[in-house]
Structure formats: structure tokens, C-alpha cells
Structure 1
Amino acid sequence: MEMEGPELFGHPKGLMTLFFTEMWERFSYYGMRALLILFMTAPATAGGLGFDDRSSGAIYGLYSMAVYLLALPGGWLADRLLGLKKSIWYGGIIITLGHFTMALPGLVGWLVKEADLRSAPTGLDLQTFFLGLVLIVIGTGMLKPNISSIVGQLYPENSSKRDAGFSIFYMGINLGAFMAPIACSTLAVYDWHLGFGLAGFGMLMGLVQYRLTGKYLDRLGEAPVPRGKEEQDKRKRLIRVTIGVGTVVALVILLFFLGIFSVNASAVAALANTVIALVALLFFLYVLFFGGLNGEEKKKVLVIAILFSFSAIFWSGFEQAGSSLNLFAERFTNRHVFGWEIPTGYFQSINSIFIIIFAPLFGAMWVWLGRRNLEPSSPLKFAIGLLLLGIGFLIMYFAAKIAAGGGVAAPTWLVVTYLFHTFGELSLSPVGLSLTTKLAPKKFAGQMMGMWFFSIALGNLVAGRIAGEASGGTADALQQMPDRYALIVYTTMGAGAVLLLLSKPIRSLMGNVK
């Protein structure tokens, strides 16, 4: 079956529209992410918020958790009301507003010439910071899940070019993630808010090109058109529910900014941790015992539930990149080269560089092993990913020992750590998404995909909480830092070893799924 519409290098031209939209969206996300925990922990005299490590880690974890959780209602809203294309457009606008909101205090400070005189963050700093985070979370939830869905719709169902199209699309993600930390961190050296503003400008560029080249998407991703009175009434009810939920959320946010109530980030993160884990457990128990599944389907759901836990463990370690490892680069790494100090955020580009270099090699390696019937099973790849992650943190354990002893670590410690973490990501991340689609019973396909994102959200939340304890922000915390990293090593490598032992029983539960 041939593709319809204009093509470029054998692929639909719409792929380039989505490629650059996603590239600029990831530019905005990773540019701000590279600065986020550094800005929160920087003293007010250096233009930061002066938060302690525990609060900063909790806020970072809640933010990165919410980005994944809101992908679920974002996909629901697109499927039932807005359509994919409009969701991407409106999501991009909200993301842009979020970044520019975070950049606003820098503009005000420049206008009144008082940025260098304050000794504590102003109300404007705090309000624009939190409002900006909320807007970015909402916008990302609307854009992120739906842009990937349109990529799939560009190709006929059995097209041999679909996988290649997704590979090109994901290259856009990594190009954005590579460029952003370097660009935004360079400006942040002069003013944090310039970095946040550049992140917003990146998303604005994405919106401009999305509007100019959106014609290549033709009629893909249009809003669903209700047919008949029953569907129209259902749509009206959905609109009322959406408006109602949105109003409640907006009211809660308004009350927070008016100071009617305050939020303890660490306590909220701990509560959210418990709630997400409990919801996941209850969901899997419901599906297994009351989902009306046959024996084979129950076995496959059990596999998803088991891998859910190991996925959360992996992401809780991997996502230290933007939090505790970012702070290690800031506080305990020698960043001086020929008299020039490398901005801390530059280290956040290392993972993307390694992805761009090694992703094709990993893909070729799995194909080569598959032809010889030597390719590891999916659970075994999961285990390998966890073990590689653990090796990365073992390296950080020794780097932390240097810092705890009063020394300064060479940048190669972080570079090699990120190398092993990238290998772990390439072993586990593509497998988890693919395996979930293969194992999920048809009647629960969408919900099981949601649970995969749930596991990433849980991992991100735990990562933030760990970072609050493992960043060495005080003298006592610095002495405990090697032990904190050792605990991560024990957890990740222990989980990998357990999964190695369980890989054969899990493989038998998977039936004919590889």
C-alpha cells in the first residue's frame, strides 16, 4: 500500500512538520530542565530561589512526574474533543506562555535595575516560577502524546517505512535535547531568566513552523465530528465535564497564588508517591481478577505488572541526570578548561550525544544477534538495562568519595556515568514501550499504555525525592553522599540481578510474545 500526499526523501512531508515541532518542543523542555534544579538551589544573591536540596528535589520530582501523568488526560482530550492537530497547537502555545512566564522576572528586573540588589526572591519570582511550571506541564500533556500519534497516522498500517519514520522523528527529539542545554545554559550564565526565555523562544519557533507547514498533515488529526443527536449530546457532556474540571484546577491554583493555603513540596511528593503506587496496584488487581480475561491474557498482564515495578526503579535512577547529577556537576566537578568555566547545564547534552551515536549501533546489534538466534528476550534486556544503570552509579560512588574527601572530581566521571546510563536506556526504554503494546489485552490496550507512562511518572517522582537526599548540599549530606550513591547501586543492580533470575519464568508467561 502506497503513501498518499507529497513526499520528501521517500517519507511524507508531514513528517518534517512533526520532526521540527517535536525538536523545538524538546529544545524548550530540556533547555529549561537543565536549569531547573540549579535555579531552585542557587542563592538569591546569585539570582536563584535559595531553596534547600530536599524541597528542590521534591519540586523537580513533582514537575517531571506531572509531565508524564498529564499525557493521559491530554491524549483523552485530543481523542474525544479537540483532535490531535489542535491539541498540539494549543499545547505548544501554553508551553510557550509557561517559559515566558518564568522569564518575566528577568525582564522586570532589567527594567527597574534592581536585579543585583535583592537578597531574597520576590513574590514575582516565586509566583511566575510556579505558574510557569504549571503551564508547561499542562501544555506538554496536550502536545507530547498526540504528536507521536500523528506520526503513526502518516503511514499506511502495514507500511515498511513506518519504523524508519519514527526513527527520523526520534532523532529530532535528541537534536533538540542536545542543543537546548548548551544554548540555554550559555545565556543563564548572565541571567537565569534569559535561559528560560530562550527555551520559550524555541517552542515559539516550533509553533511558527507548525503553522506554516501544517498543510502537509492534510486531514490527519482532525477533531472528531459527532454524528447524530446521541453523539452530539455526549460531546456536550464531555465539554461540560472538561470545563468543570478545568475550573476546579484553575481555582485551586488561584487560591495557592493568593496565599490562601501553602504547599509543603516534600510532603506532597511523599503522598503522591504512595497514591501512584497504590493506584497502580489496585488497577492491576482489578484487571487480573475482575477484567474478564482468559488465562493467557492474565499471564501477560502479570508480566506488565512485574515490569512496571522494574521500570519505575530504572527511571528513578536514570532521572537523576537532571537533579542530583546536575548538582554534582555544579558543586563537585572541575569545569575549568583553559581558564574558561564550562556552564553546568552543558553536561545535560551528553546523554543526547550518546543516543545519536549509539542508537543505530544498538539497533544493528539486536538485528545481528537476532539473525543468529542470540538476541536477548525482552525481560533480559530489561535486566541488562538495570545492571548498566547500576554500573553508572558505581562510578558515581567513587566520584562522590572524591568530593566527600574535599577533592574536585574530573568531568570524565560524569561523562562515563552518562555513557553507561545511555546504554541502559537503549537496552530498556524502546523494549518497554513495544512490549506493553504486544502484551496488553485488546480491551485494556490504551490503559496498559497509560500504565507504562505511570511507571515513568513514578520513577521521576522517586528520582526527585532521592536527589533531595543525595546532592551533598550541606556538610553532613556531603559525607553521606557516597553511601546514598551506594544505595542506588545496590537497588538498581539488585533489581537487575533479580530480573535476570526471573527472566525465564517471565518469558514463559509471555507465551508467543518475544
Structure 2
Amino acid sequence: MLKNEDSSNTDLERGFDGPSIFGHPRGLMTLFFTEMWERFSYYGMRALLILFMTTAVVEGGLGFDDKTSGAIYGLYTMGVYLLALPGGWLADRLFGLKRSVWYGGIIIALGHFTMGLPGILSLFGEGHGNSLTLTPLDTTSFFLGLILIVVGTGLLKPNISSIVGQLYHEGSSKRDAGFSIFYMGINIGGFIAPIICSSFKEVDWHLGFGVAGFGMVLGLIQYKLTAGNLEGKGELAPAESPEEIASRKRLGLFTGITVVVIAALIFLMFQDVISINASAIAEASYTVIGIVTVLFFIYVIFFGGISKDEKRKVLAIAILLCFGALFWSGFEQAGSTLNLFAERFTDRTILGWEIPTGYFQSANSMFIIIFAPVFAALWVWLAKKHLEPSSPMKFAFGLILLGVGFLVMYFAAKIAASGEMAAPSWLMFTYLFHTFGELSLSPVGLSLTTKLAPKKFQGQMMGMWFISVALGNLVAGIIAGEASGGTEEAISQMPDQYMMIVMTVMGAGVLLLLISRPLRKLMGNVR
């Protein structure tokens, strides 16, 4: 039932201004569907990405080896999270949140259509179809499309969440419920996308990429048509002084120059003037991000001008982010290592029909939709009985559950190494345990970072959370290049590699349990 109540007292009671739908601001529905279609485009393409790179050229893929494909996958998923930092910064200072979401969505759609260009042209008789060799169009459109998607996601992803927060008054009791509804949109998009895009991929790889872009276009259309629901939200505050106007002009000029320089570098890469080694870049990025992270925390603790209590809390954040990065390095193998296992070593035939590999990528979102309310209710029930685990313990449970999922994969890999095909249930149980781990760790990590961060470093600490996720994604890609069973020797080593992951993440979980008490002392009054 739609309502439009003008009383300021009523607005105060409801926790938001303006017209509502189902007890929440109408703008929430606008953002819900925009984010749903953006996640549709992202997860739909991600389900195909490493499969496309490792598929032979004659079968329509790029024919890259596992190590190169894993490195590219890791760099791409790392870039998506890493560019959220400058994306949020530009929105706050130059574009405004609403325009950043709009521009980001357009760039994402262009990226998907660029990746799908060879397939689109083949429909009109202008493509070369499957060939024994790659053409410049194949590789150029692929890499350019990935770059555009990374840039567009960096603009859209952090800023659409910020607009959701602006829909509600400070301290509104409905804000958490609003975010829960918003995140349900993410998981609906993540659930349907791999199924739809993988189905189109069975016709042509590039059509799968193209339909992912079509989803983003649908999101943009409804975003523009319902933009009135966001009136007064996500706008850039007008410049109030000549100095501020001049500052924005300088920032605009600097941004323009940066875009031109990056475009020139990309052009030189495509012309082979600058040679690119994806594996070497991934290894270097891993080292650089690690060093920058350590230096940042050293600066904040020793030179940030914060109190002793805040220093202890920052140290707690640093420790937890290390464990968080380790979690993501395992969890994000869903789209790489586990996707390749589904393709190569899983019996996907049911009643004579072969399940497209990408369908398995819907499992995580499906399990989140089912079990997120269960976990939320569980924490509330435990809290009422004064038994709720502390945040570090929830982190530890997340790592241990991740390890249990990989323990399932150890036995599946033993079956594959024996020369037989594993049943789909092995992967499904792995995704189930990984989802339980995500529900234990991910929401807690976001909330805890905001609670522990010193006021003057709150935005930057959230940035460090994104960097930990980016680092985990990069490491996941690197691991995929080694643990995907691309050769006979690699197949025989797969069980040991999975067991190494099990021991690493479960060992980290146990270590975190052991240090949870001193860690809680660092956290002070924050649980």
C-alpha cells in the first residue's frame, strides 16, 4: 500500500521523509532494482569469465593457460573492490552519489557489450565465428570490456549503498531493515544471473556477456524512470566559496588528465608497445598492496594523532583484516578454482541433460537468501540468553566453516584424481559451508570496522576493509592458477593442495579463537 504522509512528526516516527511503499521510502525500491540488475551483470559475467579464458580457441574461448587465466581473474576481481575507493572519493567531491551511480551503470553496460562485440557481430554475419586463431578483436574487446566494468563498478558499487543510508534519518530503527531488503536484491541478482547468462553462453560465449550487459541496461532504465523517488538524496552539495569552486575545477581537470593518461597506456598495451604479463602483475600487486596496508596502519598508529584507546582499536582492526583477507582468498575461489572443478571434474548430467557449469555459481546466493534470516535470528536468540559469540569468535567460525567447505573439496578432489567424475553434491555442500562462513564473518567485519575506527579515519578504515577483500580476491586468482587441475600432474596434486588450504584456513580460525580474549581487550567496550 502506497502512502504519502506530509506531517513532519509522522516522518520522524517513520524514520524517513516523503512517500513510502511497504513501510519504507520509495527510493529503496529504485535502488533495490538498480543494484539487483548491476549484480546480475557482475555475477552473470563472473560465472563465465575463467571458463571463457581457459576454453580452447576452436571452441570459442581464449585458450589461455590456467596460471594466466587465474591471474587475470584475480586482477579483475581485485580491481572491482580497489576502485571503490577512488569511486567514492570522486562521488563525494565531484559528481555526487546519484550521478556516479548513473555514470557507473553506463560504463558497466558498455563494458559488457564490448566483451560481447564479437558474438554480436557474428549474428549479422560480420564475425569470424569459432576459429583456430584469436583475432585482435577477440582479445581487445575482452580486455577493454573488463577494464570498463571495473571502472564502472568502482563508481556505482560504493555510492549506491551510501544513498540507501541517506534515505533514513540518523538513528532510524528502519535503516537496518532497509539495508537487509537492499542486500536481498543483490542476492536475487546473484542467483538468477549465472543461470540466464550460462544458458545464453551455450549458444555463444559473447551472447552470455552481452545479456549480462542487457541486465545493466534494464537497471539503468528503471533508475532513470523512477529517479523522482530519490529527489534530494545523493546530490553533490553546491560549492559555497570561490575556493571550493576552484578546487572542484582542479579536481575535474586532474580526473580528465588521469583518464587520458590511462587510456593512452591501455592503447599502447593493445598495440603491444607495452608488454603485459598478467601473472607477474598479479604477484607484484599482491606485494604492493601488502606493503601499502602495513605502512598505512603504522602511520595511523604512530603518527595519526589518535588516543591510546583508539590505537588499540586500530591494531584490532589490522589483525582482523589480516584474517578477513585470508577468508576472502578462500571464499572467492568460487568463481575460479571451484568453477573450473565443476567444468572439468563434476558429473553434470541429469536425465541426459548436462547442467551448464555456470549454474553452480548461483548456489551461494541461493543459500544466502535461505539462511541469512536464520543466522540473524540465531544471533538475536543467543544475545537474549547472553550467549552471543564475540566478533572475533564469529570471524573464527567463518574461517573454520570455510575450511570445512574445502575439506569437502579434498574428498571430491580424491575422486577426480582417481579418474572418476565427482557428483554435483560435493560442490553444493562446499558452497553451503562457505555461505555459512560468509554469514558469520562478512556482516560482522563491516559493522566492526565502523565501530572500531577513530572518527577522523572512519572513511579510510572502510577503505582498508575493501582493500582486504581486494587482496583476498587477488590471492584467490593466483591460487586458481595452481590448484585447478589443468594438467595430469596437477590433477594428482589437487587433493594435497585442497588439504593445504584446509589446514591454513582452519589453523587461522583456531589461532583466532585462541587470541580472541586479548583481541577483545584491544577492542575495549566494542563486542
- TM-score interval (norm. to shorter): over 0.9
Q: How does 1:115-514 map to 2 (within 5 A)?
A: 115-116=128-129, 118-514=131-527
Once the two structures are TM-superposed, the CA of residue 113 in structure 1 deviates from its matched residue by 6.6
Supply the distance in 2 between the matched residues of 1:297 and 1:113 (Cα, whole angstroms). 62
Report if aligned partners of 2:33, 2:222 keep a CA contact under 8 Å in 1: yes
Separation (CA, whole Å) in 2 of partners of 1:157 and 1:113: 56
How far did residue 223 of structure 1 move? 2.0
- Residue 316 of structure 2 contacts residue 522 of structure 2 at CA under 8 Å; is this kept in 1? yes
Tell me how far apart the structure 2 counterparts of residues 54 and 405 of structure 1 sit (CA, whole Å): 23
**How far apart are 1:111 and its partner, in Å?**
3.0
* Preserved CA contact (<8 Å) 2:122 2:128: yes
Aligned-partner Cα distance in 1 for 2:105–2:196: 20
Larger deviation: 379-388 or 255-264?
A: 255-264
Q: What is the alpha-carbon distance in structure 2 between the residues aligned to residue 220 and residue 182 of structure 1?
A: 34
Q: Is the 8 A contact 1:45 1:116 kept in 2?
A: no
Identify unmatched segments of 5+ residues in structure 2: 1-11
C-alpha separation between the residues in 2 aligned to 1:309 and 1:116?
A: 46
Structure 2 CA distance for aligned equivalents of residues 99 and 108 of structure 1: 14
Instruction: Give SS of 1:112's match.
Output: coil
The amino acid that maps onto 1:242 is T
By how many angstroms is 1:222 displaced? 1.1
Post-superposition Cα deviations, 1:457-504, rounded to whole Å, max 9, x if no partner, equal 000000000000000011111111111111110110011011000100
2:4 corresponds in structure 1 to none
Query: Quick check: 1:82–1:224 contact (8 Å CA) kept in 2?
Result: no
Taking a change above 3 Å as real, the CA distance of residues 369 and 202 of structure 1, as seen in their structure-2 partners, is same
Do the aligned partners of 2:340 and 2:484 also contact (CA within 8 Å) in 1?
yes
Q: By how many angstroms is 1:121 displaced?
A: 1.8
TM-score by length of 1: 0.99
Note if contact 2:119-2:127 (Cα within 8 Å) is conserved in structure 1.
Answer: no
Structure 1 unmatched ranges of 5 or more? none
- Out of 38, 49, 52, which is 1:36 matched to? 49
| Pair 1:7-2:11 in alignment | no
Q: Which amino acid aligns with 1:508?
A: K
Output the amino acid matched with 1:199: A
TM-score with structure 2 length normalisation? 0.97
Amino acid at match of 2:302: F
State the distance in 1 between where 2:303 and 2:370 align. 46
Structure 1: distance between partners of 2:113 and 2:341: 28
Please, which moves more after superposition, 201-210 or 251-260?
A: 251-260
Structure 1 CA distance, aligned partners of 2:475 and 2:146? Answer: 19
Alignment length, in residue pairs? 514
Q: Is the 8 A contact 2:200 2:208 kept in 1?
A: yes
Aligned partners of 2:168 and 2:125: how far apart in 1?
54
Query: Conserved in 1, the CA contact under 8 Å of 2:118 and 2:127?
Result: no
Shift of residue 52, structure 1, vs aligned partner: 0.2
Q: Deviations over 1:173-192 (max 9, x none)?
A: 00000000000000101100
Change (3 A) 1:179 1:404: same
Tell me the amino acid that sits aligned with residue 204 of structure 1.
V
Partner of 1:85: 98
Over residues 27-82 of structure 1, what are the superposed CA-to-partner deviations in whole Å (9 max), with x where a residue is unaligned? Answer: 00000000000000000111000000000000000000000000000000000000
Matches of 2:90 and 2:288, distance apart in 1? 23
More deviation, 119-128/243-252: 243-252
